Structure 1
Amino acid sequence: MVEAQRSVAEELDRIAPVIEPLGQRFAEAGEELALVGGPVRDAMLGRHHTDLDLTTSARPEVTERLLRGWADAVWDIGRAFGTIGCRKGDYQIEITTYRSEAYDRDSRKPAVDFGDTLAGDLGRRDFTVNAMAVRVPGRTFEDPYRGVVDLAERVLRTPGTPEDSFSDDPLRMMRAARFAAQLGFAVDDGVVAAMTAMAERITIVSAERVRDELVKLVCAPYPRRGLALLVETGLAAHVLPELPALALERDEHHRHKDVYEHTLTVLEQTIDLEPRLPGGGPDFVARFAALMHDVGKPRTRRFVGDGTVTFHHHDVVGAKMTRKRMKALRFGNEVTDQVASLVELHLRFHGYGDGEWTDSAVRRYVRDAGDQLERLHVLTRADCTTRNRRKAERLRRTYDELEARIAHLSEQEELDAMRPDLDGHQIMELLGIPAGRDVGEAYRFLLELRLEHGPLGEERATEELRRWWASRT
């Protein structure tokens, strides 16, 4: 407790040049202002913020007027919810009027009512660790729901009953899983029970809000905690049903591994390998591809006569399922294409065997992976969860060899560019044809030659093109 108080004091000293003058400005106008929620919680955990959340007695129009002339920039995109945002130096600040909000039973949007007291505002917040505030100026600490105790005990509880909290905003059930993943906290048994009983209510929340929480959960330090909670409570059945479906019933002879546990292990191993990626992580595309890479298995599982089980084409089926789920969650086309491509390609390496791929096969592997090659390296390596050390080491060495061959060919051939030796203008000039379908077919013919044989040079490419064109006429 003493350490938490010290951390808060240090953080308040750090941000004092911003919040103290701002608090004084509101006080002189007869309004209350308090730092609230995540910044207070994280200050106690020794984490620093440049994004600050504050709450106030002032109505939005008053807040906006008080910020004008003080902030470097002001925006009111959240005005309907009582929030005015601004920038001051390196700080992004959001100030929200005291409020209470609740969903109508069938509504996707909260009905917002402004409140009059800080205590009332804190009471409508999602969890006690987010229901602490520091008044400014003056730095009076407010903790009516003993959030500091729950923070010390690393547990998530709601200020009131979880049933009331989740009725007010069902997305808070997703946030419980997200905070478990971000903070590594346990979730109170009563909260888990309410999530389980009310899981279906998440369906009234917009797909975009669910998506945003899912992205934060997947990119958190401990995503397995949050995902397991979603599955345990039944929330995953509504927001990501492909995940609980991976918990295939084991047959009595244990002829296949637990796909659900395997998937979570692949996710964790992907996280361990993220330093290999540009930026070093967290990388949502790589993590979500790990989460979805085997979702096609339940639909493709077949038991065969010799006592084995197969999942033929689960990569292709899984890619289609991934696209469908990400579309339902309103992900953009680019990130959907990236994840689905990785799911579809995740088995390709296993055709490499003991390194018998030709150079042309290696080129095709690189071409098909495109700009996802580095993520494909990570996913393929992470997908090895065998406990057989000898087998795991053999797979690692084989993939090391494949990466080395890719690097060697790239250095020799500028593999990343992967273009034919002649461009479209040269094709039209040599064949005497206008732009159109024939030019495209000729280009693809030359690209196949490039993939099969490597760089041909302009002279040989010209000969091959003329021979191909003659054979068509």
Structure 2
Amino acid sequence: MSETQLPSLTVADVQRSVTTELDRIGPVIDELGAIFAAEGFELALVGGPVRDAMLGRQHDDLDFTTSARPDDTEMILKKWGDATWDMGRDFGTIGCRKGPWQVEVTTYRSEHYDPSSRKPDVDFGDSLAGDLGRRDFTVNAMAVRLPGREVVDLYGGVVDLATRTLRTPGTPEASFSDDPLRMMRAARFAAQLGFAVAPEVRQAMTEMADRISIISAERVRDELVKLLCAPYPRLGLTLLVDTGLADRVLPELPSLRLERDEHHRHKDVYEHTLTVLDQAIALEDRLPDGGPDFVSRFAALMHDVGKPRTRRFLDDGTVTFHHHDVVGAKITRKRMQALKFSNAETDAVTQLVEQHLRFHGYGSGEWTDSAVRRYVRDAGDQLARLHVLTRADCTTRNRRKAERLARTYDALEARIAKLAAEEELASMRPALDGNQIMAILGLQPGRAVGEAYTFLLDLRIDEGPMSPEDAETRLRDWWAARS
């Protein structure tokens, strides 16, 4: 999606949507509201479920806020539901499941950050108004009192929802000072909902970007993942870059805004990257599990981050980025480690960045069987994602060139499929295993066995499947020549 937000709604549209959704979830919210009221407590549906109900989106996970303290909430929910949990007790939250419904009930809260702290100080509040006032954005600061279904909108959330605008209940400076992660959440909600950010919110994000430094890498990472897996990640990423937040949490992205030479002989790498991301998202239906797929999206975002360090201007005015794939992979690994991504995610994204040019190294499509096997072997379990990234990386405006590249890659995939059917490429291995190699050559476990196995694997890739007898002959010849 472009940087333009989605079209506005009318307040009447919002009201119709919320009525329809409240009727659907009525059996749950009305019953819980009546139970809490009978025990002398207030209860209100709040936050995301209310916002999404007004947008016509259905939820089976429901969030409530209450005047009850956690012990009382837990007592009520144990009687009502099938199972309860209290991992969020320190924050006043008790969870419960009943049939297909999952609910979380949180005691009215007030919380804030100490200027040097990474974690909020949480105090229980005593009113719904106070609880709503401490929330991040007006569209998340609406509630529905229960029972009775009275909509509570103290900060103009309905209008902001209709105009698809993100504002804070109080001043954005106070909101972001209390919880700097809300600046990342603004970008995430822009990406998830297709909303614009109010000018005063954008200005506060720009002026307070340094404040994000007190937030843990894990919390920043989680917001970044949600942003990238949202329907409109370009909106959120653009906001991060324009406000300077990206300089603090993902500096490789704004670094792609290379100044262009006066003859415009190379692409705007930043805009190219966002286009590749858009195209990778459009190709996710090619992946076994579909999308959204964080690994392929983040690989698309990071695939050219090695270009700023490898850019060279030649005497004839052309620009080169030699080895930017290898350099980019190292940069990507360092950034993902800093953001505390898992080793598996880091390895997958890094591999895709390093291999994203591999297809172009084989000329115009004259692929030998050996080259196809090596391409598949090197891609391993990331082959489907590599197909997506390679196709998405074609952003040329030259229609004939784009069609030629697409045909060439179609041919490569067809070759892979043909060889896969004939040779079991997905589980490519030599005809002899390590134990057989040791028996044939009279070796003990060690480096020589690994070298022999690599020789046979390379032989398998270059020449295709062979019988164990032929493999043994070739192995003995190799060993004799090596000795």
What band does the TM-score fall into relative to the shorter chain?
Answer: over 0.9
Q: Tell me the alpha carbon deviations over residues 206-241 of structure 1, each in whole angstroms, 9 at most, x when there is no partner.
A: 111111110010011110010000000000000000
Q: Which residue of 2 aligns with 1:139?
A: 149
One-letter identity of the residue aligned with 1:276: R
Work out the CA distance in 2 between the residues paired with 1:409 and 1:426: 26
Work out the CA distance in 1 between the residues paired with 2:67 and 2:288: 45
Work out the CA distance in 2 between the residues paired with 1:324 and 1:227: 20
Q: Which residue of 2 aligns with 1:376?
A: 386
Q: Tell me the alpha carbon deviations over residues 180-211 of structure 1, each in whole angstroms, 9 at most, x when there is no partner.
A: 11111111000000000001101101111111
Work out the CA distance in 2 between the residues paired with 1:69 and 1:449: 67
Q: Which residue of 1 aligns with 2:322?
A: 312
Q: Which residue of 2 aligns with 1:292?
A: 302
Q: How do 1:18-57 and structure 2 match up within 5 A?
A: 18-57=28-67
Work out the CA distance in 1 between the residues paired with 2:478 and 2:42: 80
Q: How many correspondences in the alignment?
A: 473
Shift of 1:438: 2.6
Shift of 1:140: 1.1
- Which structure has more relative contact order (CA 8 Å, sep 6+)? It is 2
Q: Which moved more, 1:348-357 or 1:237-246?
A: 348-357
Q: How do 1:67-466 and structure 2 match up within 5 A?
A: 67-466=77-476
Shift of 1:316: 0.5
SS at match of 2:426: coil
Q: Which moved more, 1:363-372 or 1:9-18?
A: 9-18
Identity over aligned pairs, percent: 76
TM-score normalised per structure 1: 0.98
SS at match of 2:219: helix
Q: Which residue of 2 aligns with 1:63?
A: 73
CA contact (8 A) 2:66 2:106 kept: yes
One-letter identity of the residue aligned with 1:36: V
Shift of 1:244: 0.3
Q: Tell me the alpha carbon deviations over residues 78-130 of structure 1, each in whole angstroms, 9 at most, x when there is no partner.
A: 11111111212112211111111111000000011111010111111111111
SS at match of 2:208: helix
Work out the CA distance in 1 between the residues paired with 2:256 and 2:13: 43
SS at match of 1:416: helix
Work out the CA distance in 2 between the residues paired with 1:406 and 1:439: 30
Shift of 1:250: 1.3
Work out the CA distance in 1 between the residues paired with 2:96 and 2:447: 54
Work out the CA distance in 1 between the residues paired with 2:166 and 2:142: 13
Work out the CA distance in 1 between the residues paired with 2:123 and 2:481: 76
Q: Which moved more, 1:209-218 or 1:56-65?
A: 56-65
Shift of 1:469: 2.1
Work out the CA distance in 1 between the residues paired with 2:102 and 2:252: 37
Work out the CA distance in 2 between the residues paired with 1:353 and 1:465: 32
Work out the CA distance in 2 between the residues paired with 1:278 and 1:136: 43
CA contact (8 A) 2:166 2:186 kept: yes
SS at match of 1:95: strand
One-letter identity of the residue aligned with 1:83: T
Shift of 1:444: 1.2
CA contact (8 A) 1:288 1:339 kept: yes
Q: Tell me the alpha carbon deviations over residues 367-412 of structure 1, each in whole angstroms, 9 at most, x when there is no partner.
A: 1110000100000000011101011111111111111111111111
Work out the CA distance in 2 between the residues paired with 1:365 and 1:204: 43
Q: Which moved more, 1:269-278 or 1:352-361?
A: 352-361
Work out the CA distance in 2 between the residues paired with 1:191 and 1:86: 35
Shift of 1:279: 2.1
One-letter identity of the residue aligned with 1:413: E
Q: Tell me the alpha carbon deviations over residues 260-311 of structure 1, each in whole angstroms, 9 at most, x when there is no partner.
A: 0000000000011111111220111010000000000001111111111110
One-letter identity of the residue aligned with 1:376: L
Work out the CA distance in 2 between the residues paired with 1:86 and 1:341: 41
Work out the CA distance in 1 between the residues paired with 2:144 and 2:189: 21
CA contact (8 A) 1:18 1:88 kept: no
Work out the CA distance in 1 between the residues paired with 2:288 and 2:37: 47
One-letter identity of the residue aligned with 1:7: S
Q: Tell me the alpha carbon deviations over residues 153-185 of structure 1, each in whole angstroms, 9 at most, x when there is no partner.
A: 111111111111111101111111111111111
SS at match of 2:65: strand
One-letter identity of the residue aligned with 1:215: V
SS at match of 1:69: helix
Work out the CA distance in 2 between the residues paired with 1:181 and 1:6: 25
SS at match of 1:135: strand
Q: Which moved more, 1:177-186 or 1:15-24?
A: 15-24
TM-score normalised per structure 2: 0.96
Work out the CA distance in 2 between the residues paired with 1:472 and 1:302: 42
Structure 1 residue ranges (4+ consecutive) displaced by more than 6 angstroms after TM superposition: none
Q: Which residue of 1 aligns with 2:3?
A: none
Work out the CA distance in 2 between the residues paired with 1:437 and 1:387: 51
Work out the CA distance in 2 between the residues paired with 1:322 and 1:60: 43
SS at match of 2:317: coil
| Contiguous gaps of at least 5 residues in structure 2 | 1-10
